[in-house]
Amino acid sequence: MTKISFDDLKNKVCVITGGGGVIGKALAIGLGSAGVKTVLLDLNKEMADKVAAEVKTETGSESIGVEANVLQKESLESAKKFINDTFGKIDMLINGAGGNSPKATSAVEMMTEDLKSDLGKTFYGLDIAGFEFVFNLNFMGTILPTMVLSKDMLDGGGVVLNVSSMSAFRPLTKVPAYSAAKASINSITEWLSVHLAPVGIRVNAIAPGFFLTNQNRFLLTDEQTGELTSRGHKIINGTPMGRFGEVEELQGTVNYLMSDLSKFVTGIVIPVDGGFNAYSGV
C-alpha cells in the first residue's frame, strides 16, 4: 500500500518570489516544516533575510533571502546562479510576488450620472502608469521568473505554483488591472501546464480569498479606527465562513500541490477562500 506523506518534499529546493511578504512567509514555513529548503526571493533583501531567519528558527530547515526583481530577467538570472551555487538545482517555484496599488484603484465602484462631471474617480481617471505597473507586476512578474527559474526542472521534473486571486474568477470592483492580471494568471497556469506536462513539470495555482495584509489593509479597514470599511463588511458578508482567512490556512493546500500527493494534478486553480467563490450572495 502507498504511504501517504509529504516525505518526497524533504531537501527539495523551492524558490518563493515575494518571499519577504506575508503570504510568502507563511508558505515558506509550511514547506520548511516538511523539510523543504526555501529561497525567499524579494526586491526587499532586508525583509527576505528577516523572514528566512524566522523560517529557519521555526522549522529547522534551511532558508535564505535573495534580492531580485521579478520584472528584470538579468536580475533573476544572477539570483538563479547564486541559488544554484548555494543550494544546487531548483526543484520548485512559487510565484508569490504581486499585489495591487492605490494608483490602479478607482475611487468608486460604479459609474453614475453625477460622476460624468467628476471622471477622475472612475475608470476614466485611472493612472495609466499605475495600471501598467500592477498588470506587469502580477502577470510579467510570474512569466519572467518561470522562464528563468523553472529551467532546472527540465531535467527530472518539478512544480510551479502561481498565486491567483478571487478577483480572477469574477473581477472585484475598483481593481481592474489587478483583476485582469490575475485572470491572466489562471490562463497562463493552464497554458503552461499543458506545455510543460510532457517533461514532468506541473503548473498549478492557488486563489486565496481575503487575508488582511499590507496590500489590501487600506481597502478593507479604516486607517484611523481599524474598523472594517463598507468594502470589508461586504467581503465578510460574501464569505460563508464569515471571516478573513489566516495565512497559515494556505499551507496545507500548497504543501499538497508541491508534493507527489498531487502528482497527477496539473493546470488547476484551487480557491482557499472560506467559500467566497462558491457563494452567489443569495
The minimum distance between CB 199 and ligand NAD, in angstroms, equals 26
Based on the shown chain and the rule CB under 6 A, indicate whether residue 108 belongs to the binding site for ligand NAD. no
Q: Report whether 51 contacts 29 (CB < 8 A).
A: no
- The region of 52-60, 93-101, 108-116, 120-128 touching ligand NAD under the rule CB under 6 A is 93-101
Residue nearest to ligand NAD (CB): 21
Instruction: List the grid coordinates of 184.
Output: 491572466
Largest CA distance in the chain: 70
Nearest to 254 by CA among 21, 32, 11, 4: 32
Cα 114 off chain centre by: 38
Fill in the per-residue mask, 8 to 37: x = in contact with ligand NAD (CB under 6 A), - = not in contact: ---------xx-xxxxx-------------
**How many residues bind to ligand NAD according to rule CB under 6 A?**
29
Which residue lies nearer to ligand NAD by CB, 1 or 138? 138
Q: Could you give the dihedral angle defined by the CA atoms of residues 217, 220, 221 and 223, in that order, rounded to the nearest 10 degrees?
A: 50
In the region spanning residues 197 to 236, those forming contacts with ligand NAD, defined by CB under 6 A, are: 208, 210-211, 213-216
Based on the shown chain and the rule CB under 6 A, indicate whether residue 42 belongs to the binding site for ligand NAD. yes
Provide φ and ψ at 173, rounded to 5°: -65, 160
Fill in the per-residue mask, 113 to 142: x = in contact with ligand NAD (CB under 6 A), - = not in contact: ------------------------x---x-
- The region of 40-48, 55-63, 110-118, 228-236 touching ligand NAD under the rule CB under 6 A is 40-48
Cα separation, 42 vs 19, whole angstroms: 6
Q: Report whether 26 contacts 275 (CB < 8 A).
A: no
In the region spanning residues 55 to 84, those forming contacts with ligand NAD, defined by CB under 6 A, are: 69-71
- Taking CA atoms, 235 is separated from 35, 59, 183, 281, in Å, by 35, 33, 19, 10
Cα separation, 78 vs 170, whole angstroms: 37
Catalytic site includes residue 279: no
Binding site for ligand NAD (CB under 6 A): 17-18, 20-24, 42-44, 47, 69-71, 96-99, 137, 141, 163, 165, 208, 210-211, 213-216
Residues with a catalytic annotation lie at: 178
